[in-house]
A and B are shown apart, each in its own frame.
Chain A
Amino acid sequence: MATLQDFRTNEKAWWCPGCGDFGVLAAMQKALVAVGANPATTAIVAGIGCSGKIGNYINSYNLHVPHGRALPAALGIKLANRDLMVLVAGGDGDGYAIGMGHFMHSLRRNANITYVVMDNHVYGLTKGQTSPTSEEGFQTKTSPQGSIERPIHPLMLAVSAGATFVAQGFSSWQPQLASLIQKGIEHPGFSLINVISPCVTYNKVNTYDWYKKNLQNLDEDSTYQPTNRARALARLHESDEMVTGLIYQEESTPYEALIPGFRETPLVHQDLNVDQATWDKILSTLE
């Protein structure tokens, strides 16, 4: 069994002291240990942003792609080798702005991929601009008078788009976050775990204290059942998505199990030679 140490690299994390991303990294590593993952059979795809550095600090097969493109890269990995455990991590800008198209389509495609969004309501790496999750009135260098656009609600979008697993965690609440990521990995389909991961340098509004004051923990609400899409939407709407916990999950068959003729043996382990009978059958469709 792999230990936490097995999932660490010898690189020192580059984030500002106090950055929420440290908590996301720790929780991901804990979840990987908890599910019995092996660094050699784990693939992590990261986007571009402060958040995207996360791959540098997890010992696994890591692919670091252009801004916004992490999800399709993960799909390619999963289809090439469906035995791998495939995780994706990136920022709110990466996933909900430049990568929004892939986000929506990954939800409805439902390949067995775990997507951890490190949501700090701001662009960290480019030094503090408005992000799609920034609140109205949020002042940044690109919106000095305050943002005049409405924020995106990623959780409601996901639930509406046909997601089969939607959760939200908070980087400070480690046990819950690690357990949500673990459940996401165990879910046989696409899982979204939006993680509130405060940026201590460029977001002076949505701070740790602010979140602690405003977040409701669904684990403490025994009446909430994460099995009903409409109720999940209602709860997200009422709380303005200020909840943590498992919001929605349904039984799911992953995309790769639905592809006609796609085999359980990973593509990478298959014999690539075509036999004559199959070849003749293919050519016969052209006669």
Chain B
Amino acid sequence: MLAWKIGGDQGEGIDSTGDVLAIVANRMGYYVYGYKHFSSRIKGGHTNYKVRIATTRVEATTRRTDILVALNQETIDRNAHELDGGLLLADSAFNPVLPASAKAHLLTLPLTEIAKGIGSAMMRNMVAVGASAALLQLPIAPFVEYVAAKFEKKGEAIVEANRKAVEMGYQRIVDEYAALLTYKLGEPMPGDRLVISGNDAIALGAIAGGCRLMCGYPITPATEIMESLAKWFPLVGGAVVQMEDELGSMTAVIGAGFAGARAMTATSGPGISLMQEAIGLASVTEIPAVIVDTQRGGPSTGMPTKQEQSDLLALLNGGHGDTLRVVLTPGSVEESFEDAVEAFNLAEQFQTPVIIATDLSLSLWQQSVERSKLKGPTQPIRHGVTFSREELLTLGEGVFQRYQITADGISPRSLPGEINGQYLATGVEHGPSGKVSEDPINRTQMMNKRLLKLQAIHQVREGFKYEGPEEPELILVGIGSTVGILREAAAHLEAKVGVAWFRTLSPFPTERVQSVLAVAQHILVVEQNALGQIRQLMTVHGVADARFDSFLKYDGVPFLPEEVVARAKPLLNLLEVY
């Protein structure tokens, strides 16, 4: 496993350069994970992109960098400390200086000059790609192939120039620094994989799950979901509407759900705050709706480009009144796909808003995902109980009771367009027919119906997952992007350490959590917020006890597996003493 990083100013093509490396390595059969450091600024400001390349699955970033490609001095100053004996390739154009404290081999190449020689300084990053391939001791051919395909539309001359850039970068390293080429990645694991992000996975899952309408308002880090759907929906007859705000986005989704379509919105913290009133409407009118929250640093505008998991309590309890929302928490890119499909089924089956809570790291960072985990055509579509045209005709006029009390709390729907199915769906408390009612007995019945019906979700979905030894000394508990980090940490900790993660945060899977955690001697809840929101929930639901510890982080930077290892080790040692 090697970690390669490129750094420079925002707007200098750092992202696309990292993508080339990640995509080509993935095609060669390596597993990749890309992590981008960026800020809320379009041009200027330091940015870097780290790609881990491995022969087994990776789903976290790491502290160490093996190869750093620096396009300016700031990149060296900010990142050279990660290079514990690694290679630093810098453009000689800026006269790179290695800080005295850095332990690294400095390799310089005139990247800009080589590019200019081929025709344009624009090709500097392609020279760097070629040089990187050499440093990683990867064959050059797949890079040349990729570049040729990428620039095909721009004409023969451009393809030729880029090919040359890659080749020259490669050759110069081989010629000048052969003695430093000691890194070896190992044999790749051939397979059919795509490099995608959690946002890609959610957009794909939405299409596979039958969603055909997306109403949203742009916000980092959710926007890509809307952008991908805008690109893909025309192929399946769907529509993306860029609304005027999140109040409108949420309400439009509810309108569509009322009419029987599968619709969604995607946002981040600030948008979730605005959607709360409407989410309450979906709960009380029992209208299906799917909402994605890609959490970022909060509160308020917070840290728009930084990782956090601090919306959880707001997702559960943010609106006014007593409601229970379904909150799904995917713990990987693959689970993001699964949950996007399942959210639309649960929303219709249980007639409820369903929130998918992801986070910035999970939604933005790309990684290798098996194509076989992204099945589009075969996904089950479960609409839930709905009166058919024939049933409504048999029922006759004025008989249909939209909110009739049933054993499981779920009342069959009627969809607009059907005769005898007309009713009023109102945010005002209502009786079985839908008519407004403030009768105390009715109110209690209706509230109970709405709250109780959702408990059955645990029968169709495992709310808490566990991976690890049967009798763990320690269980690491997390959600979202933290799960992959915990997996890597557990692999490093040689003792009996398992990883558990929430798949359904609400309704809270109390029994399942209790049974998974029962055997552990120690439990460390690892979450990215200041209040320990997951731990709070576990306490409220009576599953937390003296075995529990928290590891919190709220500086905007994802946990590193190394940090989790360091935090967990003393807990294990402690156990050994007893």
Query: Which residues of A are in contact with B by a Cβ distance under 8 Å?
Result: 10-11, 38-41, 43, 45, 55-56, 59-66, 68-69, 71-81, 83-84, 101-102, 104-105, 256, 259-263, 265, 267-268, 270, 272-276, 278-279, 281-283, 285-287
Contact = CB atoms under 8 A, between A and B. Distances in A.
A83 to B, nearest CB: 7
Contacts of B196: 286
Contact of A40 (B210, B252, B280, B422): B422
B416 A84 contact: yes
Contacts of B235: 261, 278, 281-282
Given A40-B417, A69-B248, A286 B254 contact: no
Given A72-B248, A105-B244, A285-B232, A79 B239 contact: yes
Contact of A56 (B258, B280, B374, B436): B436
B248 A105 contact: yes
23 contacts: A39-B422, A55-B424, A60-B422, A61-B259, A61-B422, A63-B285, A63-B424, A64-B426, A65-B251, A66-B278, A72-B252, A73-B251, A73-B255, A76-B256, A76-B257, A77-B416, A80-B259, A261-B234, A261-B237, A265-B237, A273-B210, A282-B376, A286-B195
Nearest to B204: A282
- A38, A41, A84, A279 — which one has the most chain B CB atoms within 10 A of its CB? A279
Contacts of A40: 416-422
B247 interface: yes
Interface string B392-425: 0000001000000000000000011111111111
A98 to B, nearest CB: 9
B142 to A, nearest CB: 13
B570 to A, nearest CB: 43
A272 B345 CA distance: 12
Given A41-B416, A72-B215, A283-B371, 7 more contacts: A66-B280, A72-B243, A73-B254, A76-B251, A76-B258, A267-B256, A276-B377
Nearest to B247: A69
Nearest to A264: B237
- B236, B280, B281, B419 — which one has the most chain A CB atoms within 10 A of its CB? B236
B451 interface: no
Contact of A43 (B232, B259, B436): B259
A101 B247 CA distance: 10
A242 B21 CA distance: 67
Contact of B255 (A11, A72, A270): A72
A259 B262 CA distance: 17
Majority secondary structure of chain B interface residues (helix, strand, loop or mixed): mixed
A217 to B, nearest CB: 34
Contact of A72 (B247, B424, B435): B247
A39 to B, nearest CB: 6
A75 to B, nearest CB: 5
A48 B248 CA distance: 15
Contacts of B398: 10
B260 to A, nearest CB: 4
Contacts of A285: 231-232
Contact of B263 (A10, A80, A256, A261): A80
B244 A274 contact: no
A107 to B, nearest CB: 11
Contacts of B423: 61-62
B208 interface: yes
Interface in B181-228: 194-196, 200, 204, 207-208, 210, 212-213, 215
Contacts of B195: 286
Interface string B100-114: 000000000000000
A19 B215 CA distance: 37
B245 interface: yes
Contact of A77 (B208, B245, B258, B422): B258
A10 B244 CA distance: 37
Contacts of B99: none
A81 to B, nearest CB: 5
A125 B249 CA distance: 26
Contacts of B236: 261, 274, 278
Nearest to A275: B377
Given A76-B257, A77-B256, A274-B208, A283 B194 contact: yes
A101 B248 contact: yes
A66 B208 contact: no
A286 to B, nearest CB: 5
Given A73-B254, A270-B237, A274-B208, A79 B248 contact: no
Contacts of A101: 244-245, 247-248
Contacts of B436: 56
Interface in B280-324: 280-281, 285
- B194, B235, B253 — which one has the most chain A CB atoms within 10 A of its CB? B235
A76 B255 contact: yes
Contacts of B23: 287
B232 A75 contact: no
Given A76-B252, A260-B234, A272 B281 contact: no
Contacts of A69: 247-248, 251, 278, 281
Contacts of A104: 244
A77 B259 contact: yes
B394 to A, nearest CB: 15
B259 A283 contact: no
Contacts of A43: 258-259, 416
Contacts of B248: 69, 71-72, 75, 101-102, 105
